Amino acid sequence: MVITGTVGKVGLIGHPVGHSKSPEIWNDAFENQEIPYIYLPFDVSTGDLGSAVSGLKSLGFRGFNVTIPHKVSVMNFLDEIEEEAVEIGAVNTVINDGGRLIGTNTDGEGYIQSLQSETGLTLAGQHIVLLGAGGAARAVGTALAKAGAAQITIANRTMDKAEALASRLQRWTRTNAILLEQIASPLQDASLLVQTTSVGMSPNKEACPIDPELLHSDLLVSDLIYHPRQTRLLKEAKIRGARVHSGLGMLVHQAALAYQRWIGKDAPIKQMMETLDQSLKNE
């Protein structure tokens, strides 16, 4: 594609963003569908967030994705927050609608689409243990609760954040908040373990968020990390006979939902998945 002044612009803001695979996925999809758009990543420090949001608007960006650590604080600089993002308490996608910046969140729905399409799991009635209580946990936890989970136990390093998320999810399901070291008993009775923290992410590939001996064959273990493709947690789960689900699908499905909002077309999900998979294999 020839870059001219008429090329549409979307992008990503976060800190850091150098590791992100999103530019490869998006730009390959644009080329595949012959859409005159470009996707650009921007490393934005916390103190520069407001200026960056204003700058992207002034430069005519159609929208942008938001990643760590800005998913909550970016809400202060937007004109409107959609209900899904309000419920989650975080924004991962911003749409520029004629100069009005609208925040939404595609993480939860993208995760559910990935989990169900890849595992066939029926979420109604599941007993779930959620590792972590940050922005990703809020998005995924909200989606799981609204999908009919029977109970969600939030295990976190600090109790205050676990309790805050448990309180937020109580409107849809039964919840419980525990410290990470108290996970043994709830995990024994769980059917789904969802890992939302950064523990095990490259380059710290040998790190595991819990004692692997606590994993069992009645679990489906889902790790939101996609780099590496198979975390140590997933490897340990497979050794013990558990089913596993990686974070590759969530990254693609949440991106596809943003793609539709920005471009007005269905994203080439299969191709985006292949692009991501090949990129990780080449590292």
Active-site residues: which are they?
71
Can you tell me whether residue 205 is helix, strand or coil? coil
**Is 254 a known ligand-binding residue?**
yes
Report d(CA 253, CA 120) in Å as an integer.
Answer: 16
Report d(CA 166, CA 155) in Å as an integer.
Answer: 10
Burial 109-133 (b: 16+ CB within 10 A, else e): bbbbbbbeebeebebeebbbbbbbb
Length of the chain: 283
Report d(CA 254, CA 26) in Å as an integer.
Answer: 12
**Is 106 a known ligand-binding residue?**
no
**Is 135 a known ligand-binding residue?**
yes
**Is 67 a known ligand-binding residue?**
yes
**Is 111 a known ligand-binding residue?**
no
Decide: 208 and 200 in contact? Cβ < 8 Å: yes
DSSP state of 134: S
Can you tell me whether residue 194 is helix, strand or coil? strand
**Is 174 a known ligand-binding residue?**
no
**Is 14 a known ligand-binding residue?**
no
Dihedral sign from CA coordinates of 77, 257, 247, 65: negative
**Is 37 a known ligand-binding residue?**
no
**Is 196 a known ligand-binding residue?**
no
Can you tell me whether residue 158 is helix, strand or coil? coil
**Is 161 a known ligand-binding residue?**
yes
**Is 272 a known ligand-binding residue?**
no
**Is 158 a known ligand-binding residue?**
yes
Q: Which residues contact 281 (CB under 8 A, 6 or more apart)?
A: 229
Decide: 76 and 22 in contact? Cβ < 8 Å: no
**Is 83 a known ligand-binding residue?**
yes
Helix axes 248-263, 107-119, angle to 10 degrees: 130
Enumerate the known binding-site residues.
20-22, 67, 83, 92, 107, 132-136, 156-161, 224, 226, 247, 254
Pick out the residues of the known binding site for shikimate. Answer: 20-22, 67, 92, 107, 226, 254
Binding-site annotation, residues for NADP(+): 83, 132-136, 156-161, 224, 247
